[in-house]
């Protein structure tokens, strides 16, 4: 981190030596002040993009229209952006035009929150025109200027306010919260992909449960441009009306508590963001189909969607089961969804303080855990049994899986083929 910071300062000095003004700005200044790890380094400068490109050996024209050039040093990217102002947010999404300006203070004024509107000079001076340090000391999220106006310019800032509050453990000042409530309808102007990216960062961060609390309480989710799946929307709305963080720690019980969102207090215990998503959606009783629809709407990648929905689906199979039905239901669901999903589900239970030792042992001892792991493929079955492919293949494979998983049948091609022949003959007779 120190090296990254020093490397950033070296770029600043290089710009200064060429006669420009330059500062470290934004998130890295905030995080450095807080002693938190740095994500990336942003630099603001009076130099125009062409001048920046001429000055450094390796650059990428990442956002020339907005004055941004990426400078590569030591394999690390540094975003160098010309001081600018933004004007005319007619669509609540992006400025109609950007105007380059000469003064860093004008550049800082366009930024969203006071703690994001500080600049660090190469001499060590901190430029803080809006009281960013005060906000950091007080632990509050405060906007540069009037909150409602700033959210009206760019609706994504409402989600950013929530993300920073949760991530830093800060309070959202009341006029900032009021600004969100007043402007939340504008969220429909924001691309779902960007909403998904912010939400995903909230899930990945250090305060996911606090982020979900604010997200649901704000009513923002009812304002996205495509309707979110029914079961999810209803659970979120119930939480908006009745929920409080104290009621969160109830996941796993056959919760009749309408306002609960599941065992959110365990989310930070899960190292992987996908598992956090799965725990959230399983706790909200969203079901596999709606979980998948939600995550697709948010434009999460297909592989991630599949993984999360599978774990959610596995949990859904246990819903409403009595004590004695749990184990067989779990085994059946684990075989349908496969080993990876079963491992995810067990990891979630463990993080929630409800390990299921017996099923962990079962899973570990299980020689095969999904149709894909069987030593026989559908076309081999159809060839060996001299039957044209059809739905019978999937049914047969699923039967073989149950046998092999329980250890009644070895996972070997000829044993499996022989068993398939026998069981198909038996099936035909019974019809």
**Least Å distance between CB 160 and ligand ATP?**
6
Residues that bind Mg ion (CB under 5 A): 27, 39-40
Q: Least separation, in Å, of the C-beta of 41 and Mg ion? A: 8
Q: Give the nearest distance from C-beta 198 to Mg ion in angstroms.
A: 13
Between 43 and 346, CB nearer to ligand ATP: 43
In this chain, which of 20, 21, 32, 157 binds ligand ATP, going by CB under 6 A?
157
Span from 36-44, 128-136, 184-192, 241-249 in contact with ligand ATP (CB under 6 A): 36-44
- Give the one residue of 24, 156, 228, 300 binding ligand ATP; rule: CB under 6 A: 156
Residue 52 contacts ligand ATP per CB under 6 A: no
Q: Any contact of residue 128 with ligand ATP (CB under 6 A)? A: no
Pick between residue 154 and residue 290 the one whose CB is nearest to Mg ion.
154
Q: How far is the CB of 3 from Mg ion (least distance, A)?
A: 17
Question: Hunting for tokens 């040093």 — which residue is that?
Answer: 73
Q: Closest CB to ligand ATP among 240 and 299?
A: 299
Q: 3-state secondary structure string, 103-159?
A: CHHHHHHCCCEHHHCCEECCCCCEECCCCHHHHHHHCEECECCCHHHHHHHCCHHHH
Answer yes or no whether residue 244 interacts with ligand ATP by CB under 6 A. Answer: no
The minimum distance between CB 37 and ligand ATP, in angstroms, equals 10
Nearer to ligand ATP, 40 or 380 (CB): 40
- How far apart are CB 80 and Mg ion at their closest, in Å? 13
Q: Which two tokens stand for residue 111?
A: 């930024």
Choice between 26 and 283, CB closer to ligand ATP:
26
Does the footprint of ligand ATP cover residue 195 (CB under 6 A)?
no
Please select the residue that binds ligand ATP; options are 21, 32, 111, 213, rule is CB under 6 A.
111
Please report whether residue 26 would count as binding ligand ATP according to CB under 6 A. yes
Q: Whole-number minimum distance, CB 209 to ligand ATP, in Å?
A: 19
Residue 116's binding partner, choosing from ligand ATP, Mg ion, none, with beta-carbon cut-off 5 to 8 A by kind?
A: ligand ATP
- Rg value, the chain, Cα: 27
Piece of 109-117, 237-245, 268-276, 322-330 that binds ligand ATP (CB under 6 A): 109-117
List the one residue from 154, 198, 200, 344 that touches ligand ATP (CB under 6 A).
Answer: 154
Partner from ligand ATP, Mg ion, none binding residue 410, C-beta < 5-8 Å depending on class: none
- Listed ranges 108-116, 174-182, 192-200, 240-248: which one lies at the site for ligand ATP (CB under 6 A): 108-116
Considering only residues 42, 198, 200, 403, which one is a binding residue for ligand ATP as defined by CB under 6 A?
Answer: 42
Q: Contact, 161 vs 176, CB < 8 A?
A: yes
Q: How far apart are CA 221 and CA 261, in angstroms?
A: 15
Q: Nearer Cβ to ligand ATP, position 47 or 119?
A: 119
Minimal distance, residue 113 CB to Mg ion, in Å: 13
Contact positions toward ligand ATP, by CB under 6 A?
Answer: 26-27, 39-40, 42, 111-112, 116-117, 154, 156-157
């Amino acid at each position: 981190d120190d090296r990254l910071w020093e490397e950033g300062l070296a770029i600043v000095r290089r710009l200064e030596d060429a006669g420009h003004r330059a500062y470290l700005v934004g998130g890295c200044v905030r995080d450095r002040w807080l002693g938190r790890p740095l994500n990336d380094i942003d630099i603001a400068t009076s130099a125009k993009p062409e001048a920046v490109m001429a000055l450094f050996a390796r650059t990428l024209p990442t956002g020339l229209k907005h004055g941004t050039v990426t400078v590569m040093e030591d394999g690390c990217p540094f975003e160098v952006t010309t001081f600018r102002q933004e004007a005319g947010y007619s669509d609540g999404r992006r400025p109609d035009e950007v105007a380059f300006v000469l003064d860093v203070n004008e550049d800082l004024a366009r930024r969203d929150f006071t703690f994001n509107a500080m600049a660090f000079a190469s001499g060590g001076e901190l430029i803080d025109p809006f009281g960013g340090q005060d906000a950091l000391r007080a632990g509050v999220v405060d906007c540069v200027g009037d909150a409602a106006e700033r959210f009206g310019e760019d609706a994504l800032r409402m989600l950013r306010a929530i993300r920073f509050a949760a991530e830093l453990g800060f309070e959202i000042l009341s006029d900032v919260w009021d600004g969100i409530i007043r402007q939340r309808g504008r969220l429909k102007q924001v691309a779902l992909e960007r909403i998904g990216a912010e939400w995903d960062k909230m899930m990945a961060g250090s305060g996911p449960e606090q982020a979900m609390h604010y997200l649901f309480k704000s009513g923002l989710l009812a304002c996205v441009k495509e309707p979110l799946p029914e079961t999810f929307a209803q659970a979120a709305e119930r939480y908006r009306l009745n929920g409080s963080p104290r009621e969160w720690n109830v996941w796993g019980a056959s919760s009749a508590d309408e306002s609960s969102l599941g065992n959110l207090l365990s989310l930070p215990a899960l190292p992987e963001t996908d598992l956090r998503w799965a725990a959230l959606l399983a706790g909200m009783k969203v079901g596999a189909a709606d979980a998948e629809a939600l995550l697709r709407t948010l434009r999460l990648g297909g592989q991630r969607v599949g993984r999360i929905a599978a774990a959610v689906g596995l949990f859904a199979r246990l819903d409403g089961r009595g004590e004695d039905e749990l184990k067989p239901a779990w085994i059946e669901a684990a075989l349908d969804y496969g080993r990876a999903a079963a491992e995810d589900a067990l990891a979630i239970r463990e993080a929630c303080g409800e390990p299921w030792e017996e099923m962990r042992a079962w899973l570990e001892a299980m020689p095969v855990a999904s149709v894909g792991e069987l030593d026989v493929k559908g076309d081999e079955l159809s060839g060996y049994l001299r039957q044209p492919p059809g739905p019978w293949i999937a049914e047969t494979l699923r039967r073989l899986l149950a046998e092999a998983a329980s250890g009644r049948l070895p996972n070997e091609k000829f044993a499996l083929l022989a068993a398939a022949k026998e069981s198909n003959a038996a099936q035909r007779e019974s019809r």
